[in-house]
Amino acid sequence: VSTQSTGVHLYCVFRTDRSARIRRERMIFNFYIFSRNGTCLYYEEWNIPKEGRTPKAIQEEQKLMFGLLYSLRGFITKTSPKPCETFTYYKTSRYKLHYLETPTGLKFVLNTDKDAPTMTDELKKLHQEYYVEYALKNPLYKLGEPLGACEGFNSRVINFLTSHPEFKRRVVH
Amino acid sequence: INAEYGGHTKFIEASMVVYSLYVISKSGGLIYQQDYDNIPRLGMNERILLGSTFHGLHAITSNLSPVSGSSGIELLETDTFKLHCYQTPTGIKFYLIAEPSHPDLFQTLLSIYKCYTDFVLKNPFYELDQPIRCELFDVELEKLLSSSPPSVK
Protein backbone atom coordinates (compact mmCIF):
# COMPACT_ATOMS: atom_id res chain seq x y z
CA VAL A 1 0.00 0.00 0.00
CA SER A 2 1.37 3.35 -0.87
CA THR A 3 -0.07 6.66 0.11
CA GLN A 4 0.21 9.85 -1.76
CA SER A 5 0.59 13.26 -0.41
CA THR A 6 0.82 16.87 -1.38
CA GLY A 7 3.42 19.23 -0.09
CA VAL A 8 1.42 20.03 2.99
CA HIS A 9 0.74 16.56 4.33
CA LEU A 10 3.03 14.02 5.91
CA TYR A 11 4.87 11.77 3.52
CA CYS A 12 5.08 8.12 4.35
CA VAL A 13 6.95 5.47 2.39
CA PHE A 14 6.38 1.76 2.67
CA ARG A 15 9.72 -0.01 2.45
CA THR A 16 9.36 -3.57 1.32
CA ASP A 17 12.90 -4.44 2.29
CA ARG A 18 12.21 -3.92 5.95
CA SER A 19 9.84 -6.90 5.99
CA ALA A 20 7.84 -5.19 8.66
CA ARG A 21 4.50 -6.56 9.76
CA ILE A 22 2.18 -3.64 9.87
CA ARG A 23 -0.43 -4.03 12.51
CA ARG A 24 -2.52 -0.96 12.23
CA GLU A 25 -2.35 2.16 10.19
CA ARG A 26 -3.72 5.04 12.18
CA MET A 27 -5.39 7.50 9.92
CA ILE A 28 -7.62 10.46 10.08
CA PHE A 29 -9.15 10.84 6.65
CA ASN A 30 -11.46 13.78 6.73
CA PHE A 31 -13.49 16.12 8.87
CA TYR A 32 -16.82 17.77 8.05
CA ILE A 33 -18.97 20.29 9.79
CA PHE A 34 -22.54 20.66 8.52
CA SER A 35 -25.01 23.30 9.50
CA ARG A 36 -28.52 22.41 10.47
CA ASN A 37 -29.82 22.90 6.96
CA GLY A 38 -27.19 20.84 5.17
CA THR A 39 -24.58 23.43 4.18
CA CYS A 40 -21.11 22.08 4.57
CA LEU A 41 -19.47 24.74 6.70
CA TYR A 42 -16.09 23.12 6.92
CA TYR A 43 -14.24 20.33 5.20
CA GLU A 44 -10.65 19.10 5.35
CA GLU A 45 -9.15 15.86 4.09
CA TRP A 46 -5.88 14.06 4.52
CA ASN A 47 -4.42 10.76 3.44
CA ILE A 48 -6.84 10.35 0.56
CA PRO A 49 -5.52 9.57 -2.92
CA LYS A 50 -6.01 12.59 -5.13
CA GLU A 51 -7.13 11.04 -8.43
CA GLY A 52 -10.51 12.15 -9.61
CA ARG A 53 -11.21 14.38 -6.65
CA THR A 54 -12.33 17.53 -8.37
CA PRO A 55 -13.94 20.24 -6.22
CA LYS A 56 -17.26 19.24 -7.77
CA ALA A 57 -16.78 15.60 -6.80
CA ILE A 58 -15.99 16.64 -3.26
CA GLN A 59 -19.08 18.82 -3.15
CA GLU A 60 -21.24 15.93 -4.35
CA GLU A 61 -19.71 13.76 -1.69
CA GLN A 62 -20.52 16.34 0.98
CA LYS A 63 -24.14 16.41 -0.12
CA LEU A 64 -24.25 12.63 -0.08
CA MET A 65 -22.76 12.61 3.39
CA PHE A 66 -25.39 15.00 4.70
CA GLY A 67 -28.13 12.94 3.08
CA LEU A 68 -26.74 9.84 4.70
CA LEU A 69 -26.64 11.46 8.14
CA TYR A 70 -30.16 12.75 7.73
CA SER A 71 -31.48 9.32 6.71
CA LEU A 72 -29.50 7.61 9.45
CA ARG A 73 -31.11 9.88 11.97
CA GLY A 74 -34.59 8.83 10.83
CA PHE A 75 -33.59 5.19 10.75
CA ILE A 76 -32.16 5.32 14.27
CA THR A 77 -35.21 7.11 15.65
CA LYS A 78 -37.45 4.36 14.33
CA THR A 79 -35.21 1.40 15.12
CA SER A 80 -34.25 2.30 18.66
CA PRO A 81 -36.04 0.43 21.45
CA LYS A 82 -35.86 3.57 23.58
CA PRO A 83 -36.10 7.16 22.39
CA CYS A 84 -32.89 7.99 20.59
CA GLU A 85 -32.03 10.25 17.71
CA THR A 86 -28.33 10.20 17.20
CA PHE A 87 -25.42 7.80 17.04
CA THR A 88 -21.86 7.74 18.30
CA TYR A 89 -20.13 6.06 15.40
CA TYR A 90 -20.45 3.49 12.69
CA LYS A 91 -17.82 1.15 11.38
CA THR A 92 -17.34 -0.59 8.06
CA SER A 93 -14.67 -2.95 6.87
CA ARG A 94 -12.33 -0.08 5.97
CA TYR A 95 -13.25 3.07 7.93
CA LYS A 96 -15.00 4.40 10.98
CA LEU A 97 -17.19 7.44 11.04
CA HIS A 98 -17.44 9.35 14.31
CA TYR A 99 -20.36 11.69 14.78
CA LEU A 100 -21.46 14.45 17.07
CA GLU A 101 -24.60 16.49 16.78
CA THR A 102 -24.84 19.62 18.88
CA PRO A 103 -28.10 20.84 20.43
CA THR A 104 -28.16 23.57 17.78
CA GLY A 105 -28.19 21.02 14.98
CA LEU A 106 -24.55 21.32 13.90
CA LYS A 107 -23.09 18.04 12.73
CA PHE A 108 -19.43 17.18 13.30
CA VAL A 109 -18.18 14.20 11.32
CA LEU A 110 -14.76 12.58 11.50
CA ASN A 111 -13.61 9.62 9.38
CA THR A 112 -10.76 7.50 10.66
CA ASP A 113 -9.31 4.05 10.09
CA LYS A 114 -11.59 1.29 11.27
CA ASP A 115 -9.68 0.45 14.46
CA ALA A 116 -9.52 3.93 15.91
CA PRO A 117 -10.82 4.42 19.44
CA THR A 118 -13.85 6.63 20.04
CA MET A 119 -13.25 10.20 19.09
CA THR A 120 -16.26 11.66 20.85
CA ASP A 121 -14.06 13.71 23.17
CA GLU A 122 -12.13 15.09 20.23
CA LEU A 123 -15.35 16.05 18.51
CA LYS A 124 -16.62 17.71 21.65
CA LYS A 125 -13.35 19.61 21.91
CA LEU A 126 -13.60 20.67 18.29
CA HIS A 127 -17.01 22.04 19.07
CA GLN A 128 -16.40 23.63 22.49
CA GLU A 129 -12.85 24.80 22.26
CA TYR A 130 -12.57 25.63 18.59
CA TYR A 131 -15.95 26.27 17.03
CA VAL A 132 -17.48 28.10 19.99
CA GLU A 133 -14.35 30.04 20.84
CA TYR A 134 -12.98 30.94 17.42
CA ALA A 135 -16.00 30.92 15.18
CA LEU A 136 -19.10 31.61 17.22
CA LYS A 137 -17.45 34.24 19.35
CA ASN A 138 -15.75 35.79 16.39
CA PRO A 139 -17.56 39.08 15.65
CA LEU A 140 -16.48 38.92 12.01
CA TYR A 141 -17.90 35.48 11.42
CA LYS A 142 -21.48 35.22 10.28
CA LEU A 143 -23.39 32.10 11.28
CA GLY A 144 -24.03 29.73 8.42
CA GLU A 145 -21.09 30.86 6.38
CA PRO A 146 -18.20 28.59 5.42
CA LEU A 147 -15.62 28.35 8.16
CA GLY A 148 -12.61 27.92 5.93
CA ALA A 149 -12.16 31.68 5.85
CA CYS A 150 -12.26 31.95 9.60
CA GLU A 151 -8.51 31.88 10.03
CA GLY A 152 -8.29 31.37 13.77
CA PHE A 153 -10.59 28.40 13.57
CA ASN A 154 -9.08 26.89 10.44
CA SER A 155 -5.48 26.86 11.53
CA ARG A 156 -6.24 25.54 15.00
CA VAL A 157 -8.43 22.72 13.74
CA ILE A 158 -5.84 21.60 11.20
CA ASN A 159 -3.15 21.75 13.80
CA PHE A 160 -5.19 19.84 16.34
CA LEU A 161 -6.08 17.04 13.95
CA THR A 162 -2.74 16.67 12.23
CA SER A 163 -0.88 16.53 15.52
CA HIS A 164 -3.33 14.06 17.05
CA PRO A 165 -1.83 10.65 17.87
CA GLU A 166 -4.41 9.00 15.64
CA PHE A 167 -3.24 10.89 12.60
CA LYS A 168 -1.21 8.95 10.11
CA ARG A 169 1.05 6.72 12.00
CA ARG A 170 2.05 3.25 10.96
CA VAL A 171 2.39 0.96 13.94
CA VAL A 172 5.12 -1.41 12.93
CA HIS A 173 5.98 -4.67 14.62
CA ILE B 1 -19.92 -16.86 29.01
CA ASN B 2 -22.21 -17.35 26.08
CA ALA B 3 -22.19 -20.40 23.85
CA GLU B 4 -24.03 -19.40 20.78
CA TYR B 5 -24.41 -22.48 18.70
CA GLY B 6 -27.95 -23.73 18.24
CA GLY B 7 -28.96 -26.69 20.32
CA HIS B 8 -26.61 -26.11 23.25
CA THR B 9 -27.71 -24.53 26.49
CA LYS B 10 -26.69 -20.94 26.92
CA PHE B 11 -26.06 -18.73 29.89
CA ILE B 12 -27.06 -15.24 28.99
CA GLU B 13 -26.18 -12.33 31.19
CA ALA B 14 -28.50 -9.41 31.62
CA SER B 15 -26.54 -7.20 29.27
CA MET B 16 -26.55 -9.62 26.38
CA VAL B 17 -30.02 -9.07 25.10
CA VAL B 18 -30.69 -9.18 21.41
CA TYR B 19 -33.74 -7.14 20.49
CA SER B 20 -34.40 -8.06 16.91
CA LEU B 21 -33.16 -9.60 13.70
CA TYR B 22 -33.76 -8.39 10.16
CA VAL B 23 -32.84 -10.28 7.02
CA ILE B 24 -32.68 -8.32 3.78
CA SER B 25 -32.56 -9.88 0.34
CA LYS B 26 -30.08 -8.91 -2.33
CA SER B 27 -32.55 -6.45 -3.85
CA GLY B 28 -33.27 -4.70 -0.56
CA GLY B 29 -36.54 -6.33 0.40
CA LEU B 30 -37.19 -7.54 3.91
CA ILE B 31 -37.46 -11.31 3.88
CA TYR B 32 -37.41 -12.04 7.58
CA GLN B 33 -37.94 -10.11 10.76
CA GLN B 34 -38.27 -11.23 14.35
CA ASP B 35 -38.22 -9.55 17.74
CA TYR B 36 -36.67 -11.41 20.65
CA ASP B 37 -37.33 -9.12 23.51
CA ASN B 38 -39.79 -6.59 24.81
CA ILE B 39 -39.38 -3.65 22.54
CA PRO B 40 -42.05 -1.39 21.14
CA ARG B 41 -43.74 -3.30 18.36
CA LEU B 42 -43.52 -1.72 14.95
CA GLY B 43 -46.11 -2.33 12.28
CA MET B 44 -45.20 -4.64 9.43
CA ASN B 45 -45.06 -1.81 6.93
CA GLU B 46 -42.71 0.11 9.15
CA ARG B 47 -40.42 -2.85 9.42
CA ILE B 48 -40.33 -3.30 5.67
CA LEU B 49 -39.50 0.36 5.33
CA LEU B 50 -36.71 0.12 7.89
CA GLY B 51 -35.26 -2.87 6.10
CA SER B 52 -35.18 -1.06 2.78
CA THR B 53 -33.80 2.08 4.38
CA PHE B 54 -31.00 0.08 5.85
CA HIS B 55 -30.28 -1.51 2.50
CA GLY B 56 -29.85 1.98 1.02
CA LEU B 57 -27.78 3.25 3.94
CA HIS B 58 -25.53 0.24 3.69
CA ALA B 59 -24.86 0.96 0.02
CA ILE B 60 -24.20 4.66 0.59
CA THR B 61 -21.78 4.06 3.42
CA SER B 62 -19.84 1.79 1.12
CA ASN B 63 -19.70 4.53 -1.52
CA LEU B 64 -18.75 7.27 0.89
CA SER B 65 -15.66 5.49 2.05
CA PRO B 66 -12.49 7.61 2.04
CA VAL B 67 -10.62 4.50 0.96
CA SER B 68 -11.69 2.17 -1.78
CA GLY B 69 -13.02 -1.29 -1.22
CA SER B 70 -15.11 -0.68 1.82
CA SER B 71 -18.11 -2.68 2.83
CA GLY B 72 -21.24 -1.01 4.12
CA ILE B 73 -22.03 -0.51 7.81
CA GLU B 74 -20.94 -3.45 9.90
CA LEU B 75 -21.42 -1.89 13.27
CA LEU B 76 -23.44 1.11 14.38
CA GLU B 77 -23.42 2.23 17.96
CA THR B 78 -25.80 4.61 19.65
CA ASP B 79 -26.63 5.29 23.29
CA THR B 80 -29.56 2.92 23.33
CA PHE B 81 -28.65 0.12 20.95
CA LYS B 82 -25.99 -1.46 18.82
CA LEU B 83 -26.56 -2.69 15.30
CA HIS B 84 -24.41 -5.43 13.83
CA CYS B 85 -24.67 -6.31 10.19
CA TYR B 86 -23.25 -9.15 8.20
CA GLN B 87 -23.45 -9.18 4.42
CA THR B 88 -22.99 -12.60 2.87
CA PRO B 89 -21.00 -13.11 -0.30
CA THR B 90 -24.35 -13.57 -2.08
CA GLY B 91 -25.59 -10.14 -1.01
CA ILE B 92 -28.01 -11.09 1.75
CA LYS B 93 -27.78 -8.89 4.83
CA PHE B 94 -28.42 -10.11 8.34
CA TYR B 95 -28.61 -7.40 10.92
CA LEU B 96 -29.19 -7.56 14.64
CA ILE B 97 -30.31 -4.84 17.01
CA ALA B 98 -28.94 -5.48 20.48
CA GLU B 99 -28.15 -3.77 23.75
CA PRO B 100 -25.24 -1.35 23.53
CA SER B 101 -23.21 -3.29 26.06
CA HIS B 102 -23.48 -6.47 24.06
CA PRO B 103 -20.10 -7.87 23.07
CA ASP B 104 -19.31 -8.61 19.48
CA LEU B 105 -22.16 -10.29 17.67
CA PHE B 106 -20.21 -11.43 14.65
CA GLN B 107 -20.22 -15.07 15.72
CA THR B 108 -23.95 -14.90 16.34
CA LEU B 109 -24.47 -13.52 12.86
CA LEU B 110 -22.45 -16.37 11.41
CA SER B 111 -24.55 -18.86 13.34
CA ILE B 112 -27.67 -17.24 11.98
CA TYR B 113 -26.26 -17.50 8.49
CA LYS B 114 -25.59 -21.17 9.11
CA CYS B 115 -29.20 -21.64 10.23
CA TYR B 116 -30.28 -19.85 7.09
CA THR B 117 -28.33 -22.21 4.86
CA ASP B 118 -29.54 -25.28 6.76
CA PHE B 119 -33.20 -24.48 7.26
CA VAL B 120 -34.07 -22.06 4.50
CA LEU B 121 -31.84 -22.70 1.51
CA LYS B 122 -32.07 -26.44 1.89
CA ASN B 123 -35.82 -26.26 2.20
CA PRO B 124 -37.12 -27.45 -1.17
CA PHE B 125 -40.21 -25.26 -0.92
CA TYR B 126 -38.33 -22.04 -0.38
CA GLU B 127 -37.82 -19.69 -3.31
CA LEU B 128 -34.83 -17.38 -3.24
CA ASP B 129 -35.44 -13.74 -2.30
CA GLN B 130 -38.95 -14.51 -1.08
CA PRO B 131 -40.09 -13.90 2.48
CA ILE B 132 -38.89 -16.69 4.71
CA ARG B 133 -41.62 -18.88 6.12
CA CYS B 134 -39.77 -21.90 7.39
CA GLU B 135 -40.78 -23.15 10.78
CA LEU B 136 -37.50 -24.86 11.58
CA PHE B 137 -35.66 -21.60 10.92
CA ASP B 138 -37.87 -19.83 13.47
CA VAL B 139 -37.34 -22.58 16.01
CA GLU B 140 -33.58 -22.62 15.64
CA LEU B 141 -33.29 -18.86 15.82
CA GLU B 142 -35.48 -18.76 18.89
CA LYS B 143 -33.07 -21.15 20.56
CA LEU B 144 -30.13 -19.08 19.46
CA LEU B 145 -31.36 -15.60 20.21
CA SER B 146 -34.09 -15.72 22.79
CA SER B 147 -33.06 -14.04 25.98
CA SER B 148 -35.22 -15.99 28.38
CA PRO B 149 -32.99 -18.85 29.39
CA PRO B 150 -34.23 -21.42 31.84
CA SER B 151 -30.93 -21.16 33.70
CA VAL B 152 -28.65 -18.76 35.47
CA LYS B 153 -27.00 -15.46 34.67
Ranges of chain B whose pLDDT falls below 70: 1-15, 147-153
Torsion angle, CA of B99/B80/B74/B89, rounded to 10 degrees?
60
Q: Which residues in B lie closer than 8 A to residue A65 (C-beta atoms)?
A: 64
Whole-number pLDDT of residue A22:
58
pLDDT tens, position by position, A89-106: 999 999 999 999 999 999
Q: What ipTM was reported for this prediction?
A: 0.83
Inform me whether the C-beta atom of residue A115 falls under 8 Å from chain B C-beta atoms: no
**What is the torsional sign of CA B130, B113, A73, A91?**
negative
Nearest residue, CB atoms, B80 vs list A47, A65, A81 = A81
Q: How many CB atoms lie within 10 A of CB A132?
A: 12
Whole-number pLDDT of residue B3:
44
Whole-number pLDDT of residue B148:
47
**Per-residue pLDDT in tens (0 to 9) along chain A, 173 residues:** 444 444 444 544 554 444 445 567 788 999 999 999 999 999 999 888 877 788 999 999 999 999 999 999 999 999 998 899 999 999 999 999 999 999 999 999 999 999 999 999 999 999 999 999 998 888 888 888 888 878 888 899 999 998 888 887 554 44
Residue A52 backbone dihedrals phi, psi, to 5 degrees: 75, 5
Whole-number pLDDT of residue A21:
54
Inform me whether the C-beta atom of residue A87 falls under 8 Å from chain B C-beta atoms: yes
Inform me whether the C-beta atom of residue A14 falls under 8 Å from chain B C-beta atoms: no
pTM over cut 0.90: no
Q: How many CB atoms lie within 10 A of CB A3?
A: 19
